[in-house]
Structure 1
Amino acid sequence: MSNEATTPTRLAVGDQAPDFTLSDAEGNEVSLSSYQGKKTIVYFYPAASTPGCTKQACDFRDSLSSLQGLGYEVLGISPDGVTKLAKFVAKEELNFPLLADEDHKVAEAYGAWGEKKNYGRTYEGLIRSTVVLDEQGKVTLAQYNVRATGHVAKLRRDLGIDPK
């Protein structure tokens, strides 16, 4: 019995990140290639406006200025549609792009889509993940099954950019 269909191929340090073009909350196309020359944090979250995803998005919102001061941009990706993302951005006053990956092809390419277990049920879904890219689009950090609460602080520590 093959496990291949449910075990995603995860990105590792040194991998070239797959390029993508997705629609943001305003319906504009955003391509990863337009972030060449910038360090970029790409994070995958399961669903807009859910408690954990809201905490995580607001954490990135509140940390964006300091992250940008260190040369990082942030992109959030979920399988939500543009309309749901627009409501989430407006309600939480999010200040970075959220991108719609409705067919989860980008999540699959990044290893952020696969088998999940919840309350004894097994299903395919988005795995909360964060991939950090250097200015050339190479992976410098890849984290899977991350916790929503406290994720940005942990990310800063793991990147060596937290003074604490």
Structure 2
Amino acid sequence: MANTPKIGDVVGDFRLPGGHLDGDTFHRTDYALAEQRGQPLVLAFYPGDATPVCTAQLCSYSDGLAELQAAGAVVWGISPQGVDSHEAFARDRRLKMPLLSDEGRAVAKSFGITAPLIGLRRSVFIIDPHGRLHWKHVTAVGATYPPAATLSAQLAALTD
């Protein structure tokens, strides 16, 4: 397993398929890390669509999305499920942020967060506008996640 990036490291580029819900339309597209340069990016890795803790986490971030966006951030949810599963999850829970599919877990592996049995460790990474890792939260077991308010505080620290 690869090591997780260290604070200050430049995060390697990746491109994943995904989509986001806008009203009743789910827009599918590819998302590339390099295309986000110039603004902070929150990457929320989660083990599975529609599971209890993942649902609570993604709903929390969706509900707090306006505050995160007010800090200039883009928020992506990333899990191993396919885009069809993400669409059903987004529609069921009315999630407002893009959900990206890392079916081969290549991106999770590059962040050093793959894990036996669960697939990946629940993790959140904040990348600064220059592509450097600003903050991270990686769980050992996967039942906890930082609330949106914690993410907002970390994003505010980028402008201090």
Q: TM-score range by the shorter chain?
A: 0.7 to 0.9
RMSD: 2.0
Query: Which letter maps to 1:59?
Result: S
Report the 3-state secondary structure (helix = DSSP H, G, I; strand = E; otherwise coil) of the residue aligned with 1:10.
Answer: coil
Query: Which letter maps to 2:150?
Result: K
Name the residue aligned to 1:134: 128
Percentage of pairs with the same residue: 31
Shift of 1:73: 1.1
Name the residue aligned to 1:155: 151
Change (3 A) 1:27 1:124: same
Shift of 1:18: 1.5
| Contact 2:44-2:76 at 8 Å conserved across structures | yes
Shift of 1:8: 3.6
TM-score, normalised by the number of residues in structure 2: 0.84
Shift of 1:149: 5.5
Change (3 A) 1:124 1:51: closer
Q: Superposed, which structure 2 residues align to 1:2-81 within 5 Å?
A: 7-25=1-19, 26-81=27-82
When Rg is computed on C-alpha atoms for both structures, the one with the higher figure is 1
State whether structure 2 residue 130 is matched by structure 1 residue 143.
Answer: no
TM-score, normalised by the number of residues in structure 1: 0.82
Shift of 1:43: 1.1
Shift of 1:112: 1.7
Structure 1 stretch displaced more, 91-100 or 23-32: 23-32
| Contact 1:57-1:94 at 8 Å conserved across structures | yes
Aligned partners of 1:39 and 1:150: how far apart in 2?
A: 17
The count of residues paired between Structure 1 and Structure 2 equals 148
Aligned partners of 1:144 and 1:129: how far apart in 2?
A: 4
Q: Gaps (5+ residues) in structure 2?
A: 20-26
Shift of 1:28: 1.1
Name the residue aligned to 1:3: none
Query: Which letter maps to 1:30?
Result: Y
CA offset digits 1:58-116 (Å, max 9, x no partner): 1111111011111111011000011100001111111111000000000010112134x
Query: Which letter maps to 1:66?
Result: E
Query: Which letter maps to 2:129?
Result: E
Query: Which letter maps to 2:36?
Result: Y
Aligned partners of 1:77 and 1:143: how far apart in 2?
A: 15
Shift of 1:151: 2.7
Report the 3-state secondary structure (helix = DSSP H, G, I; strand = E; otherwise coil) of the residue aligned with 2:28.
Answer: coil
